[in-house]
Structure 1
Amino acid sequence: MTAAASQRAAEMRAEFDRIFADESRVETALYCDVVIVEAGAQLCAIRLSELSGIVAGKTIVPVPGASVALRGVAGIRGAILPVYDLAVLIGRPPAASPRWLAVAASASLALSFDRFERQLRIEESCFLASAPQSAHRGGVVRSDAYSGPVLDLGAILKDIDQPSQERPFS
């Protein structure tokens, strides 16, 4: 190798190392994984960290005398779980025959919804605070991939435990 080639190789190595050592290039953005679902003709985001899974095509067995929100029970991963209609819980008309179930991570129950739209990774800076009248919203997202409400699954689960007459969402 000639002296000029050796010098050029050394310069290229130094440039390569400098680029990766540059702190301004270090990615500092935080992201949140969400699933976008449709419940009662409303697209909503649910933080993936609040779910233990999403399943499709489960048979929901109605429970006599149950509230409008309680669709029935379903067998999921070897357990019998109550299934609540997410549309009703957020103040929308009940779904005719939901195909999808979101299994809550913090409680032994599932939420039924009409359609699974997609899963997204959204930068945390795109999450904005929610309007105070929206009890079930955990904020809103404004991004290129999705703009709309983010559900507060904790508030929804609390409402299941202590139902209220008013379900402000829309």
Structure 2
Amino acid sequence: MSPTEVTDRLTELRADFDRSFAEPARRHDAEHAELLAVHAGGRPYALRLAQAAGVHSDRPVTPLPGPQPALLGVAGFSGAIVPVYDLAALLGHPVPERPRWLVLAAGSPPLALAFHELDGHVRVSAAVIVGEPDGHDGRDVLRGMVPLPGGTRPIVDLPAARAVVHRLTGHTQDVFEER
């Protein structure tokens, strides 16, 4: 990004932040979905905010050796050491550069996924989310598509991503469910 683009984006984010305090508080309901619009490996995705425990930028990640190329290392969150996996690598994309952003998945065991760009927060009608299957084979972490400004994005299911990471690390499903 050029300095002008950064300044423009910063101005836009500040205006959105200020506007959020001027608007009445939104109710969380089943008719709407709160999403984070992100880019991982140069591709657009959406993450369900309800499945996230936090979003962090520029958090130090201590590299770890290992057989999984998606494992970036570990990071500290409120005194807990959490494994960090590259979302683009988990989705099978090449990773041109180290991701800047981390989303801490809600639930247990702890997991953080790294992605390259945070495009923003959006609230959409649940009715516009399409192709969200009830049954899946457990290998796919994408659950549905959502039309957003700039194009339609696949939705990454964070619990499904945790299950994939768990399988990659050699744990059985029973161990995952006991935690």
> What TM-score do you get using the length of structure 1 for normalisation?
0.73
1:148 correspondence with 2:150:
no
1:158 maps to which residue? 163
CA contact (8 A) 1:95 1:114 kept: no
CA contact (8 A) 2:111 2:162 kept: no
Give SS of 1:139's match.
strand
Residue segments in structure 1 that go unaligned for 5+ positions in a row: 1-27, 165-170
Residue 124, structure 1, aligned to residue 126, structure 2: yes
Deviations 1:84-135 (A, max 9, x none): 0000111111251211000000231100110111000000010001587982
Cα-Cα RMSD: 2.4
The CA deviation at 1:46 is 0.5
The residue number in structure 1 matching 2:56 is 55
Partner of 1:92, secondary structure, is: coil
Unaligned stretches of 5+ in structure 2? 1-28, 170-179
- Scaled by the length of structure 2, what TM-score is found? 0.69
Distance 1:69 1:30, change over 3 A: same
- Amino acid of the structure 2 residue aligned with 1:128: V
Per-residue CA deviation, residues 48-81 of structure 1 (Å, 9 max, x unaligned), is 0000010011111111225101100011222211
Q: Percent identity?
A: 34
Aligned length: 137
1:95-134 to structure 2, matched below 5 A, reads 95-107=96-108, 108-130=110-132
For 1:139, give the aligned amino acid.
G
Counterpart-to-counterpart distance in 2, 1:35 and 1:60: 22
